[in-house]
Amino acid sequence: MAISQERSRRKISGGRYKPITKRLATRGGIPANSKVGELSVKEKRLRGGEIQKFLFAVNKANVFNPKTKKSSVVDIKTVVENPANRNFVRRNILTKGAIIETSIGKARVTSRPGQEGLLNAVLL
């Protein structure tokens, strides 16, 4: 069955809306669930010719150090904490806000890896 982003068929009161047909504009997508691993990126053409990158796996992150005001590319060891879902920690899934263990310390992910195709983080 297709994943859809359309509105509910029922109103808040319990009544029904008029039936609507499925449209390409309301289709949804499967979540990327970016993991820690060898780099894997795919591209998808969107409406209007826009290209979106999906990051499926990554083992390096662009980490910004606020004290020295410098960025560096470091290795990701594991996911320590993820406020989006506690089960993402066991599966090493990266989302915005996740806390990762890197070679220079813990960092918080500031980008949306499943939708931007890159991983940016800030050192804690």
pLDDT given at position 56: 95
Report phi then psi at 36, rounded to 5. -85, 120
Instruction: Name the average pLDDT for the chain.
Output: 92
Tens-digit pLDDT profile for residues 85-102: 999 999 999 999 999 999
pLDDT at 76 over 80: yes
User: Using CA atoms, how far apart are residues 19 and 98, in angstroms rounded to an integer?
Assistant: 40
If you classify domain 31-123 with CATH, what class do you get? Answer: alpha beta
Map out the domains of the chain as residue ranges.
Answer: 31-123
> How distant, in Å, are the alpha carbons of 7, 12, 15, 112 from that of 18?
12, 14, 10, 36
**pLDDT classification of 1: cutoffs 50, 70, 90:** low
Beta 51-58 vs 35-36: how paired, if at all? parallel
